[in-house]
Amino acid sequence: MKIVALCYEGMTLLDLVGPTQVWSFLPDVQIQYVAPQDLRVATDCGLPVTATHSFGDAWEAPDVLFVGGGGKPALDAAADPRIQDFLRSRGERASWITSVCTGSLIMAAAGLYDGYRAATYWGAREMLAGYGIDVSEERVCIDRNRISGGGITAGIDFGLATAAHWFGDDTGRLFELVLEYAPQPPFGTGRPELADEKTLRTARTMTEAVFQQ
């Protein structure tokens, strides 16, 4: 299985690492981490990543095309002609079009989610709907050959769900155990409907600022 994962300036590191850590256990998997030009890419947590390929030498027909999210940098990527042209060219040939968090906005801008249902970060659902997309509030949304995950930490759920979808539930169960994925959130406020009003109000202010930076 050949996977092309987009890397771009300011992206959210966990959006990239969560799914690809799961996928690294898949049999015969190859992952290209692809950047527009400079291979060294800054992330929003300050830890840079080094892409393995540029747009010019990435696979033309990957099995999986994947994009993670970010705040304002995701909006910038959605408006970047180089990134949009690359996604359209690979999306025409890829068997699976996938995203996590606001990566769905980048895919939607490229027209790759037209006519499909897709998930995104809770703070970006209205923006995704603005592209005419049928927005899902699911942690992982599978609509035919489009698979999308919710925000940031949903990348691990997304990775496990895709592995199971492609290789069977036994594979998903195995990888979940190998990763010791047994989350126990200390506060239980990880979705808007679970948070108290004060926490939600503060979180909305924070996320709005992130998209405007």
141 is catalytic: no
CA distance linking residue 144 with residue 142, whole number of Å: 6
Close Cβ partners of 189 (under 8 Å, ≥ 6 residues apart)? 195, 196, 199
d(CA 131, CA 114): 8
Amino acid at position 152, single letter: I
The 10 Å CB-count burial string (b at 16+, else e) for 116-126 is bbbbbbbbbbe
What is the C-alpha to C-alpha distance for residues 3 and 89, in angstroms, rounded to an integer? Answer: 15
Catalytic option among 7, 45, 101, 141: 101
Of 85, 111, 109, 112, which is closest to residue 98 (Cα–Cα)? 112
Quickly tell me which residue has 């895919």 as its tokens.
Answer: 107
Q: Which residues are catalytic?
A: 101
